[in-house]
Structure 1
Amino acid sequence: MNKARLEAFSDGVIAVIITIMVLELEPPHGTTLADVAGVIPGWLRYALSFLYVGIYWVNHHALLERVGRVDWAVLWANLHLLFWMSLIPFVTAWAGEHPMAPAPVALYGVVLLLCSLSFLLLSWRLGASDGAAHAPAWHARKNQVSVGLYALAIAVSPWSAPLAAVLHVVLAAMWLAPDRTAPHTP
């Protein structure tokens, strides 16, 4: 089947995800610089999450450029990715409200890891569906490093939520530009 509907639906869901995230941003409750300082952690987490959603959107388009058609399994794999991405606003709000608390930072990392793994699944299904000669995405070193760093961020969250947050930033920086030569996952 034609991939245009998949792309249009995905673009719409991603736009809604970004809209929900921005609606969750808390304005300062006062007019002083101290009031603004109180909401900066939430704004920073929003910026990081916006960057992640943007990275997925760019990489999703780069991935779909390589295929001509999709099948039902691809549609379900894409929905799987969109499901995990739809949880980004929730974990963004929670981690933004409690930026140094282990549980919110760990759950933020879990959602990012599951987004990454679901993108790998989508990449694999697209290659199988289209008959394209894609290298298996898991074998790309960048993907292996990413999955390992997401898992490490989750594991260190109970002891050092700030270190886990730094790992989330490092991972986003790794994925700012999509790789045009092989299917990769953020």
Structure 2
Amino acid sequence: MNKVRLEAFSDGVIAIIITIMVLELKTPHGAAPHYLAPVLPVLLRYLLSFIYVGIYWINHHYLFDRVREVDGVAMWANLHLLFWISLIPFVTAWAGEHPFDSLPVAMYGVVLLMCSIGFVVLDDVLRRRGAMHAGAARPSWMERKNLASILLYALAIPLALWYAPAGSVVHVVVALLWLRPRAHA
């Protein structure tokens, strides 16, 4: 099957996810600077989540640039990834409203972990099913970052349950890991 419909659908879902996140933002109750304080944790969590959704969108594009065709298994693997990404607005709102509470921050980490696993599964399915263009090797930087992400997300969950801000720090560290420019593979 042609990959174009899958890419278009994925782009649409990601656009909707970002729209949902921004619609969850509430304006401050006044115009003075001190009115920003209560909404700052929500804004910061939104920023982090926007970056994460952007990272997935960019890497999805990068991955599918190397794909020549998809089949039903690849489409389901893609839906699996999109399912977990679609939960980002929910955990963003929850962790943003309760930044010092362990369960919301830990659940944010669970969703990020599952997004990372979902991306690795999608990549693996595409490669195993022969969907990649000839000679489309998996860049070593991506393998290292995916493994590091999974390990750090797994670490962030118990850390958040112990002390929520510690889990949040790990979430920021992983985002920074992906924002660092990659060497060309």
TM-score under structure 2 length normalisation = 0.91
- Residue equivalent to 2:125: 125
User: Which consecutive aligned stretches of 4+ in structure 1 deviate over 3 angstroms post-superposition?
Assistant: 131-137, 177-181
In the aligned structure 1, how far is the partner of 2:47 from the partner of 2:175?
Answer: 11
Q: 1:180 to 1:119 in 2, by over 3 A?
A: farther
- Residue equivalent to 1:39: 39
Residue identity in the other structure for 1:116: S
Q: Secondary structure at the match of 1:158?
A: helix
- Residue equivalent to 1:81: 81
How far apart are residue 163 of structure 1 and its match?
A: 1.2
Q: How many residues align?
A: 180
| 1:153-168 equivalence runs, <5 A | 153-168=156-171
In the aligned structure 2, how far is the partner of 1:161 from the partner of 1:179?
Answer: 33
Superposed CA offset, 1:54-106 (max 9, x none): 00000000000111011110000000000000000000000110111101100
The question of whether the paired residues in 2 share the 8 Å contact of 1:62 and 1:178 is answered with no
Structure 1 gap segments, 5+ residues each: 182-186
TM-score under structure 1 length normalisation = 0.91
Q: Percent identity?
A: 59
State whether structure 2 residue 111 is matched by structure 1 residue 111: yes
Corresponding residue to 2:149 among 146, 150, 169: 146
- Residue equivalent to 2:48: 48
Structure 2 gap segments, 5+ residues each: none
How far apart are residue 136 of structure 1 and its match?
A: 9.8
The question of whether the paired residues in 2 share the 8 Å contact of 1:3 and 1:68 is answered with yes
